[in-house]
A and B are shown apart, each in its own frame.
Chain A
Amino acid sequence: MAQTLLQVEDLHTQFFTSRGVVRAVDGVSLHIDVGETLGVVGESGCGKTITALSILRLVPDPGKIVSGRILFRGNDVVKMDDDEIRDFRGNDVAMIFQDPMTSLNPVTRIGSQIEEAMTAHKRFTPEQAKSRVIELLTRVRVPSAETRAKDYPHQFSGGMRQRAMIAMGLANEPSLLIADEPTTALDVTVQAQIIQLMKQLNRELGTAMMLITHNMALVASLCQRVVVMYAGRVVEEGPVEQIFKSPQHPYTWSLLRSVPRVDEARKDRLVSIKGLPPDLSNPPPGCKFHPRCPFVIDRCRVEEPPLGEVGPDQVARCWVLMRNVSEGDVATAKQSSISVAAAENLKAPVADIGTKSGS
């Protein structure tokens, strides 16, 4: 039986702004087992980063964890005092961000920064820390680690900085690494190197990983399990292979069909989700996805569905579920996403645009 490392229970994190209360994380529950890689996906603004920052108790003002429990090896992070939380951040969990420049100090040499991360948390003696710097940089495959450790961040390229960030994240041998869009800013060939690196680290060190991303392909490549978030809530969760093969929530289904695949031979039309995610200070009643859902029924508008079991280890928050949608309705949903400029607009006579370039 896999051992649970992190268990988030009914977490609510809110921002108290002049516009009202923003329910950024609205009853999220999730767990990560020891050594496991969990993907967290969803559109911009659905609460992924704030969930991660809540786990570290780093929610920025005017945000607050309002309720819920975050159990790390059974200890509630929400209740930890200042010393305990510092220990937790130093020894148990590390976070790497999308833009490494925001978290690296520009005026300190890379090697010294990694060393400081270790001595600050007293897990290693200063001598050990010094010798570990080169070892860590080598492990994340920074070439000529010994000389490069003396460089400043601006002397590193984007990919190398991300490697340095990962080295720093690993410095205190955390059991959980939270990576928020770690490769989004990188070129594909460098992204491939970092993906490879993260896979190896997970295998070699057994570090559990929470990968936050927009990129479904990255989840398919790196993760064992995936949590799909929408409007501050978990709407579906399960093993990656199952979710990709048989998503049950219409949002997951749409997300998976909205991205082109580089290995597709034909240009199939993409499914697009109409409209935008809701304003989290004023979410719609009922199922929060209902204004955008192609399979909405009356009940969805008034009553929010619970997260229910839909398969082995798979849960989804939906009254309908994809397996109950008829093929005809699926086809219509694909059609209706045909656009936007909806067929009727395109066919309408448009003055002047009529001078088509080809005819």
Chain B
Amino acid sequence: MMQAPEKAPLTTVAADPIILRVQDVYKHFPIAGFGGLAVRAVDGVDLEIRRGEALGLVGESGCGKSTLARLITALLPVTRGKIIFEGQEITKMRGGRLRRMRRKMQMIFQDPFASLDPRMTVGDIIQEPLDNYGIGSGKARQRRVQELLRLVGLNPNFTNRYPHEFSGGQRQRIGIARALAVNPSFIVCDEAVSALDVSIQAQIINLLQDLQREFNLTYLFIAHDLAVVRHLSDRIAVMYLGKIVETAGRNDIYDHPQHPYTRALLSSIPVPDPVVERTRAPILLKGEIPSPVNPPSGCRFHTRCPIARVPGICSEQEPPLEPHGQRDQLAACHFAGEK
């Protein structure tokens, strides 16, 4: 039986109900040749993820979800701010310590076609993280790979096949097996089911739920499909133009949205039920998401907000993310809860 090479450093840390803290985090990508200008992909984010929960992160394309995911998993350095994982500030870590920390957080990506090396066999793809971290002997690693394949519902004898021999859903399972190989406690799924056909998507969603229950995993689940996110999440964070504008439980966010953007976003989603659809009245937002190079002043949603007071406080003062609405609900709006 393989042993993890190191134990969690402190028992008190393991008891911390918050597994991940994101504190005032920024990521600006400078635009080459435009001195000083930058894409403000993540622009002051505060977020907490609780141990064992599935936190959903939603928002329109380009709002900074993937960038935030890559900051959290330390695949990208922050411009400013702190990220604390299991009590330790990973934004300060380098080298071996960071590598060991990263082992506990794995990422599953959107594109099952692009994220697997086409020249490697499935066995090697899944085994690679075990090799990298020097976990177990050669024999034990091979056994582990077969167990992982079985765990995600693939034939354990497939180890010698190549990714192109598998369907999209099967490739996504291979990606999941690889992510699970090193016993992570925290998994970030960035659009992990978005590219899949509905029936295959259902298989992967069910699998992710089974795995979470069985191994008490913590998920950060990112997708632009809100129905999928709501289905998989316990709590949901809504992002707009580099900032979190609301967080709440999966039911509160739907039943009592406090931020006008959340309300509009949720009302825009059609439901597979013609009877409901006959009367659903979406709140239509004006235009599209502004450029993150130069976000609007004050509340950055004010250019599209149906209840903005402009000119006035909305274009002048940035609203803080504060408790509003139900217990455990935060919203960044001067007129939270108003319609």
Please measure, in the bound complex, the distance between the C-alpha atom of A196 and the C-alpha atom of B286, giving whole angstroms. Answer: 13
Q: Which of B186, B280, B287 neighbours the largest number of chain A CB atoms within 10 Å of its CB?
A: B287
With contact pairs A339-B153, A340-B152, A346-B151 given, residues A244 and B144 touching in the complex (Cβ less than 8 Å): no
A273 located at the interface, meaning its Cβ lies under 8 Å from any Cβ of chain B in the complex:
yes
Q: Is the CB of A261 within 8 A of B227?
A: yes
| Other-chain contact of B197, A189, A214, A351 (Cβ < 8 Å) | A214
Interface status of B18 (Cβ within 8 A of chain A): no
**Contact call A217/B207, Cβ cutoff below 8 A:** no
**Max chain B CB contacts within 10 Å: which of A215, A219, A345?**
A345
Closest partner residue, chain A, to B207 (CB atom): A340
- How many whole Å from B233's CB to the nearest CB in chain A? 9
Q: Give the size of the chain A interface in residues (CB under 8 angstroms).
A: 63
- Contacts of B220-238 to chain A: CB distance below 8 A: 224, 226-228, 230-232
Q: How far apart are A315's CB and chain B's nearest CB, in angstroms?
A: 18
Neighbouring A residues of B52 by C-beta, 8 Å: 358
In the bound assembly, the distance between CA atoms of A265 and B271 in angstroms comes to 13
**Nearest CB of chain B from residue A239's CB, rounded to whole Å:** 9
A341 contacts B60, C-beta separation under 8 Å? no
A window 141-199: CB within 8 A of B: 143, 157, 159-160, 187-193, 195-196
Taking chain A's interface residues, is the majority helix, strand, or loop, or is none over half, making it mixed?
A: loop
Report whether B271 and A263 are in contact in the complex, using a CB–CB cutoff of 8 Å.
yes
A302 within 8 A of B: no
Q: For residue A103, give the distance in angstroms from its CB to the closest CB of chain B.
A: 20
A244 touches B274 (CB 8 A): yes
Q: Please provide the chain B residues from 200 to 241 with a CB less than 8 Å away from any CB of chain A in the complex.
A: 200-203, 205-207, 209-211, 214-218, 224, 226-228, 230-232
Q: What chain A residues lie within 8 Å of B218 (beta carbons)?
A: 357
Q: How far is the CA of A221 from the CA of B167 in the complex (A)?
A: 31
Which A residues between 233 and 288 are near B, CB-CB below 8 angstroms? 240-241, 244, 254-256, 258-265, 267, 269-274, 276
Identity of the chain B residue whose Cβ is nearest the Cβ of A242 in the assembled complex:
B274
Contact of B206 among A196, A259, A263, A272 (CB under 8 A): A272
User: Beyond A187-B289, A221-B270, is A341–B207 a contact (Cβ under 8 Å)?
Assistant: yes
- Does A350 interact with chain B (Cβ within 8 Å)? yes
Residue of B nearest to A344 (CB): B150
Please state if B270 and A218 are interface contacts (CB–CB under 8 Å).
Answer: yes
A205 beta carbon closer than 8 Å to chain B: no
Q: Which of A159, A263, A340 is the one whose CB lies under 8 Å from B153?
A: A340
Query: Are B198 and A214 neighbours in the complex by a CB distance under 8 Å?
Result: yes
Which of B4, B205, B217, B267 lies at the interface centre, i.e. has the most chain A CB atoms within 10 A of its CB? B205
CB proximity to A under 8 Å, residues B277-296:
277, 280, 282, 284-285, 287-289
Nearest Cβ distance between residue B282 and chain A, in whole angstroms?
Answer: 5
B147 touches A159 (CB 8 A): no
Query: Is residue A3 within 8 Å, beta carbon to beta carbon, of the partner chain?
Result: no
Q: Once the chains bind, are B185 and A272 in contact (CB under 8 Å)? A: no
User: Which single member of B4, B264, B267 contacts A355 (CB below 8 Å)?
Assistant: B4
B183 contacts chain A at the CB level, 8 A cutoff: yes
Cβ-based interface call for B92 (8 A): no
Task: Give the interface of B toward A (CB within 8 A).
Answer: 1-4, 51-52, 60-61, 104, 135-136, 140, 143-144, 147-148, 150-153, 167, 169, 180, 183-186, 197-203, 205-207, 209-211, 214-218, 224, 226-228, 230-232, 251, 254, 264-277, 280, 282, 284-285, 287-289
* 7 examples of A-B residue contacts, CB within 8 angstroms: A160-B288, A192-B284, A196-B284, A221-B274, A339-B210, A351-B147, A357-B186
Q: Give me 15 other A-B pairs in contact (C-beta within 8 A), A241-B275, A261-B273 excluded.
A: A187-B61, A187-B289, A189-B288, A191-B268, A195-B270, A214-B197, A220-B273, A221-B280, A256-B272, A258-B201, A341-B150, A352-B1, A352-B144, A353-B180, A356-B215
Rank and list the top 5 A-B pairs by shortest CB-CB distance, nearest first.
Answer: A358-B216, A357-B185, A260-B231, A192-B268, A340-B153
